[in-house]
Structure 1
Amino acid sequence: MNKRLIKLTHRLLILSGIIFLAGCNTLQTQPSAIENQSPTQSHIFPFYKEALKMGLTEFDRKNYGKTIDILLPLAELGNLTAQLNLAAAYELHTPADDHEAVKWYMKTAKKGNPDAFNALGLMYESGRGVIKNNDEAIEWFQLGAEQGDSEALFNLGRHYQQRPGAEQDYATAIQWYMKAASSGHPLATHQLATFYAHGVGGLEVNQKLALDLYHAAAALNVPESHYEIGVYYKTGLAVIKNQSTAAKWFQSGAELGSASAQAALGDLYWQKEALKMGLTELDRRNYGTTIDILLPLAELGNLTAQLKLAAAYELHTPADDHEALKWYMKTAKKDNVDAFNALGLMYESGRGVIKNNDEAIEWFQLGAEQGDSEALFNLGRHYQQRPAAEQDYATAIQWYMKAAASGHPLATHQLATFYAQGIGGLEVNQALALELYHTAAALNAPESHYEIGVYYNTGVAVIKNQSTAAKWFQSGAMLGSANAQVALGDLYWQGEGVLRNSDQAMRWYVSSAEQGHKVGQQKLANAYQQLDTQYDLANAVPWENKLAEQ
C-alpha cells in the first residue's frame, strides 16, 4: 500500500512539473511582463525564479544534462541568464551540441550581451557549430570590446597573438592586452608580464616591470603568475635569491592549480629531502652514499649539494680530487667563499691540480675580500707555514689579526701563541696571550683550553692552581685535544689537582695515543709497564712497537 502511494505521489509531482512548464510557455519574458502578470499567472513567478536557481546549481555541479532540462523552458521564455547558461551547457555536455549552443548564444547576442559576443567569437575562431571564420570571430570580439568588456579585449589580444606564423601580429596583440590589463583582466596582465620578461613583440626586456605585472596578476589569482614569481625568487632574477620565498609562491600557485608550480614545488620538496639525506650521510662519513644522493642535486645547480659533493669526493676512499676540484670550481663561480677556501687549500697542497702557492693565495684573497674569517685565517696560516726562506711572520700576523677580529677561533689561538712566545717580532706578553687564549677557548678551540691549563699548572701570569689546571685540561680533553688528554692523564697519574686515579690516567693516555700523539703513546707504554701485571706488560708492547716504527 505504501509503495503504491509513493509511486502515485511521484507521478503527480512529474505531472505538476509538466503543467508548470506548459504554463510557463504562455508567459512573456521581460521583467515588465512579470510585473504585469494577471492574477491567475502571478503565482508562477516564484517557481520561475526557483527553477533558474536550480538550473544554475546543476550547472555548477557540472550536471549539464539536468541543466539543459531545467533551463530550456526558461530560455524559451526569453530569460537572458537561462539562455546564456543553456548555451554554455550545450557546449560542455558530453556529447556537445555546438549547433544548439550557437543558436542560444545568437539569441542572447541580439540583446547586446558581451558574454554572448565572446562566446560566438570563440565559436567562429575554433569552427565549433559554425564554419571557422577568423574575420567573423574578430567582429564578435570587437562588439564586446566596444562595450569595454575586459574578456573581449583579452580575446582580441590572444587571437592576434595565436594566429598562424605569417599572420601573427604581436604589436596588435599587445595593444589589446594593454587595454584588457588596464581594465583588470588577470590573464591579459599575466601575458603582458611574459612579453616584458622575454622581450616579445618588440618590447624591451624589463624584468622589474614583468615582475610587477606578475604580482598584479597573482593578486587576481592567476596560477601561472604565482609560479613565475616563484621562479624569480628561485633563480635570483631581479630579486634577491630566496628559496623559502620561492617555495611560498610555488605553494600558492600549486593550490590554485598551476601544474608548473606543482612540479616546481615537488622538485623543491624532493631536493630538500634529498639534500637532508645527503648531509646526514656526509656527517656519518658514508661518502660513497653521499655522492650518490647529492650528485643529481648538484647537477640541478643546488649550491649546497655542489659544495658538499666536492667535499665528499675529497674525503672518499679513494679520494677523487679531480671531481672535487670540478665541483668547487662550479660553486666558486657563484662567489661561494667556502669554495674559494677549498680551492686555495687544493692549490696549496697540490691535490687535483699542480701545486701553486700564488694560485692558492689568490683563492684565499677572494674569500678575504668578502670578509670571510676562514679565508683570512688561511692566508695567515699560509704565510706562517711556508718553507723557512719564504716564511713571513709579519704578513701572517696581519692576516691572523683580521681573522681574530672577525671571531675566528684558531686565528685567535695562533695570535695568543705568538704573544706567549714572542714570535714574528711581537714582544712576549703573557697577560695578553692568556686573554687571547680565553677568547679562543670560549670559541671552543681545544688547544686554547690546554694552554690555559698549562698557565695554571705552572703559575705563569696567574697564581698556580692545579685544580683549576685540571678543569681546563678536562674541557680541552673533552674537545679532543691530545695535549690536554696527556696533561690530564699526568695529573690523574700523579694525583695533582685531582685524586690519584690510574684508571682515569690510562683512559686519557689511551685517547691521546689513539690520535697518534707520541708523548701519549710513550706515557701509555710506561704506565702499562709500571702497573707491572702480565696483562699490562702485554698491552705495553704494541705501543712500544708503534714508537719504534716512528
Structure 2
Amino acid sequence: MNDFNKFENVIIEWIKNNDKNTKQILELIQNHKKSEFWFSSIIGFFYQYGIDCDVDKEKSLEFFLLAINNEKSLIQNEENDNENNEFGLLQSYNIIIGKYLLSLFYYKDIISDLRNLSDVEVKYLKSARKGDPIAQYNLGYCYQHGKGVTQDHNKAFEWYSKSANNESAEGQNNLGECYYYGFGIDKDEMVAYEWYLKSANNGCAEGQNNLGKCYYHGKGISQDCNKAFEWFSKSADNEYAEGQFYLGECYYYGRGISQDYDKAFEWYFKSANNGFARGQNTLGYCYKNGLGTNKDYKKAFEWYSKSANNGFAEGQNNLGYCYKNGLGTDEDYKKAFEWYSISADNGCAESQNNLGFCYRDGLGTERDYNKAFEMYYKSAINGCANGQCSLGFCYRYGIGTDRNYIKAFEWYSKSANNGYNFGQYNLARCYKYGQGIARNYNKAFEWYFKSANNEFAKGQHCLGHCYYYGIGTKVDVEKAVIWYKKALNNGVKDATVPPKTSPTTPTNGNAFTSPSSASAPTLPSAPSVFRTDKQISVAILLFYVAHCCHWLVIFST
C-alpha cells in the first residue's frame, strides 16, 4: 500500500473487528515468555493507537525499538541453533514489522508533525517527549484551551496524563479536571477525586481547592464539610483566590465551622482582591446588605462593577440592579438594561427575568410584551423561581401570549415549590379562586401560610383573612390580628386590624365565598332580622299575637 494512513487504518479495523477479545490478546502477548522477541512490534502498535489500552506514544516507541534491537540475537541464534528455524521466523517477522511500523511512527509522529507544528508546540514538544512533566503540563494546557494550537481535549488529556504520572502536581490537578468534566475522556468523578487528592497532597493550591469542592458537594466522595473546610483553608493559605472564596462560603453558611460573617467577609475580601470575579460579586453583596461589614452601597456598586467587567454573569446582573434602583450610583434605566442584556446573554437566569421586566415596563428600552414573554420563558426554563412566577403571570393575564390559566397554575406551582414567596402567593390565589385548578381552600391556606412565613406582605394579609373568616382553617381571630399587623408593618396599608366583635364562622371552608384578598377585611354585616330558627319562630308567634290583638281592637269598637 502506498498510503501510510490507509495501511494503518486497515490494520486497526482488522484488529478491532476480529472475533477475538483484543484486550485479552494484548494481555496474552505481553505476558508471553517470548514477548520481547515475537510480539514487541505488535504491542507497540496497540499502544500507538490505544487499541484496548491508553494511547502511549513513548511506550509504543520503546516496543518498536525493542523489536529492531533484537536483530543481533536473531543472527546469533541462527548460527548456533538451526533446529529453531520456526521460532526464528517469528522473531524475523517481528523485526521486519517493527522496522516498518517504526518508520511510519517517525514519519507521522515526528517528521510529519514537525512540518505542521505551531511555535507553541515546537517550544514544548521536544522537552515533553523527553519526559519533562512541566513541558507535558504546558502542552496539555495549550491543547485544552487552544493556546497557540487548535483546541484538542484528547491531546490535552494525553499530555496531562503523562505529566501527572511524572508526579507533576499541576498535571495531576488538570487530569482530575479532565475526568471531572469529561474532557478527552469519559466523565468519572471518583477518578477525578483520586487525582485531585494526589495533587492536593503534592502541594498544588488549585488541587487543594478542587479536593475541597469534592468534599463540599459530595462529588466522587461522601460529602464532608469538615474536610472541605480543611482543604479550602490550605488552598486559601496558599493564596489561591477560589480557595479563599470557598473558605468564605464555609464561614458564611457555617459549613465545617461555626457561622461567622466577619470571617466570611475577610476571606471574600482576599479573594476579590486576588481577582476572583465571583468573590468580587459576593463582596459587593456583603457591602449591599451589611454582612460582616457596614452597609455601603457605593462600595457594593464598586465591587459589582469589577465582577461585571471580569465577565461574571451574576455580577453583571447585580450591576444592572444598581443602575435600575440607583444603588450606589445614579439611577439609569438604559445602563440597567445594557447590563441585564449582557448578563442574560451570558446565561444568568435571574437577569433574563429582570430583562423581561425591562421589556414589560419599557425601562431603558421600548415596551415589548412579546420580548418580555420570551425572556421570562428563558429564565423559567433555566430554573429561576422569579422567572417561573413571571411566566405564570404572563399566562394568567395574557401578556405576550394567550391567556391560559392552566399554564399559569403550572408555572406558579414550579415557582412556589422552588421557594419563591410571590409564586407561593399566586399559587394560593389559583386554589382560592379555582383558576387553572379545582377550587380548594385548604390548599389556598397552605400556600398563603408558606408565602406569609417567607415574608411576603400580601401573603401575610391574606393569611389574616383565612384565619379571620375560617378559609381552609378554623376561625382564629387572635392569629388573624397577628398576621394583619405583620402585613401592615410590611407596607400593606389596607391591612387594618378588624373590630373585636367575632365574625360568623362559615359552615364549610370550601363552600365559603370569601371577600377579595385585595380588599381590607370587614366584618360580616349584622342582620336586622333574627338570626336563628328559634328566634324566627318566636317572631312569627309575636307577629300572630299582635295581629289578633289588632283585629280584636277593631271588632270591639
TM-score, normalised on structure 1? 0.49
User: Which structure: larger Rg?
Assistant: 1
TM-score w.r.t. structure 2 length? 0.48
